[in-house]
């Protein structure tokens, strides 16, 4: 192997679906390159490559299963997987750095509570979006996560009345999961639109089907209502945990309330022993410091502007890629597209690195762009949209059609893809191509 004077430095900011997918692909394409590599043991050292994963947590969190994890302890405790359980991340060319990203600059990353910088030649930004607790995990270690989940489950378990504010995907799934697990509890969903799950990807039929399932489960739905006032006599559990962990995500505060009386826009009075605010996620624009070379900003309300190669869509940043929720690629922020985007970003970085000097490599593009079909419905880049509504119910939209109920139930993953995701992390193993 020819050794260069200095290794090529690749940084991946953020783990989870997009970041770990990028790390896995970088491992396969830049480290596991010897012909006899079979995934049985660690890939040989490559002194020409240095890959750094930066994450505020010490492990992966399967966010898709969080609503169920809040109701079922055995399932919920499996959702956090420490990076230390993945031996491929201990490759001599890989380092995992635990820290909170405070600034992404054109050639380096700055972290909280340290003057150290992570310099890079190539970067994958996979920081995700900031989500409210308890879905947005404030914990930075598995032990903290388990304690926090126990507290949240105790709040739900001891409550007779639970109110969920916000009828997007997270709020709807949370209300359905609580009612399915604890049918004796009073569960109310308050949503400002006339039907749940707003957004250009969803048909009216899909949204009505979701409302029908909620009614079938016994969730009281207050659609077309906004919360205009609230009074609470309970402590703010989410805020306490966010401060305790030193997290810099202020939106984690005021997201879980106890003993709260809510007033809606029509004057309805709703009381909840526990109230969850599920009012969407927030972008991390304050962290991204990539000045645009044009009048169009690099970062918008949709995320970092990327092209079909997951590359920042600005000639100044051909070395910077973004994947997952933080990128502008997907109208909706799902785990599947995040995983695919991370893989494509890593593949294209590998192609740029391997290209002969002066050559322009052919980069891999995403399969198709998001656009309107003949019915005016925005078609996602992925095949179907699935909403899990408890263990026995779900609604699926494929294109502009809603899958019949019985078929949808059969198509649902009973464990919300936990097993599939665990296998993709290569716990106690090493990655191989095509799996």
Q: What is the DSSP letter of 12?
A: E
pLDDT of residue 328: 83
Q: What is the pLDDT of residue 19?
A: 96
Contacts for 24 with CB less than 8 Å, ≥ 6 apart: 88, 343, 346, 424, 426, 431
- What pLDDT was estimated at residue 128? 85
C-alpha separations of 2 from 43, 106, 247, 395 in Å: 17, 28, 43, 54
Which pLDDT value is given to residue 2?
58
- Which residues does 381 contact at the CB level (< 8 Å), separation at least 6? 329, 330, 337, 366, 367, 368, 369, 370
Joined together, the tokens standing for residue 241 give 């945990």
Q: What is the pLDDT of residue 261?
A: 95
State the DSSP code for 385.
E
In the DSSP assignment, the letter for residue 65 is G
Q: What is the pLDDT of residue 258?
A: 87
Query: What is the 3-state secondary structure of 14-56?
Result: CCHHHHHHHHHHHHHHHHCCCCCCCCCCCCCCCCCEEEEEEEC
The pair of structure tokens assigned to 157 is 């378990």
pTM of the model: 0.89
Report the pLDDT value the prediction gives residue 331, as an integer from 0 to 100.
Answer: 53
CA atoms of 254 and 153, how far apart (whole Å): 18
Below-50 pLDDT ranges, the chain = 237-254, 369-381
Q: pLDDT tens across 56-78, in order?
A: 999 999 999 999 999 999 999 99
The per-residue pLDDT for 1 is 57
Query: Looking at residue 240, what is its pLDDT?
Result: 37
How many Å apart are CA 419 and CA 59, to the nearest integer?
A: 16
pLDDT value of position 330? 60
């Amino acid at each position: 192997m020819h050794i260069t004077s200095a290794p090529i430095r690749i940084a991946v900011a953020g783990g989870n679906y997009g970041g770990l997918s990028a790390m896995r692909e970088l491992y396969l394409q830049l480290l596991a390159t010897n012909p006899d590599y079979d995934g049985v043991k660690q890939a040989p050292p490559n002194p020409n490559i240095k890959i750094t994963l930066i994450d505020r947590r010490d492990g992966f969190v399967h966010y898709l299963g969080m609503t169920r994890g809040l109701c079922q302890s055995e399932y919920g405790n499996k959702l956090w997987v420490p990076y230390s359980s993945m031996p491929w991340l201990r490759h001599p060319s890989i380092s995992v750095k635990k820290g909170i990203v405070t600034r992404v600059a054109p050639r380096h990353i700055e972290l909280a509570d340290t003057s150290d910088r992570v310099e890079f030649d190539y970067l994958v930004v996979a920081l995700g979006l900031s989500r409210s607790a308890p879905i947005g995990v404030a914990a930075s270690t598995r032990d903290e996560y388990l304690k926090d989940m126990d507290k949240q489950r105790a709040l739900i378990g001891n409550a007779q009345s639970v109110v969920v504010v916000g009828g997007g995907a997270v709020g709807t799934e949370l209300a359905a999961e609580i009612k399915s697990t604890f049918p004796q509890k009073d569960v109310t969903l308050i949503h400002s639109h006339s039907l749940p799950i707003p957004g250009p990807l969803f048909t009216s039929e899909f949204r009505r089907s979701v409302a029908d399932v909620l009614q079938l489960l016994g969730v009281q739905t207050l659609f077309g209502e906004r919360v205009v006032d609230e009074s609470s006599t309970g402590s703010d559990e989410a805020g306490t945990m966010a401060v305790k962990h030193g997290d810099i995500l202020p939106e984690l505060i005021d997201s879980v309330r106890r003993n709260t009386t809510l007033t809606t826009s029509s004057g309805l009075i709703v009381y909840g022993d526990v109230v969850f605010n599920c009012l969407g996620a927030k972008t991390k624009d304050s962290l991204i410091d990539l000045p645009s070379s044009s009048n169009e900003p690099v970062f918008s309300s949709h995320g970092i502007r990327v092209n079909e190669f997951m590359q920042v869509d600005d000639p100044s940043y051909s070395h910077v890629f973004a994947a997952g929720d933080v990128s502008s690629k997907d109208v909706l922020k799902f785990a599947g597209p995040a995983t695919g985007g991370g893989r494509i970003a890593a593949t294209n970085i590998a192609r740029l690195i391997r290209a002969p000097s002066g050559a322009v490599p052919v980069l891999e593009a995403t399969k198709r762009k998001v656009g309107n079909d003949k019915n005016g419905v925005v078609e996602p880049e992925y095949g179907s949209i699935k909403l899990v509504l408890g263990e026995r119910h779900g609604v699926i939209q494929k294109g502009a059609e809603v899958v019949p109920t019985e078929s949808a139930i059969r198509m649902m993953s009973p464990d919300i893809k936990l097993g599939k995701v665990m296998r993709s992390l290569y716990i106690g193993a090493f990655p191989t191509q095509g799996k």
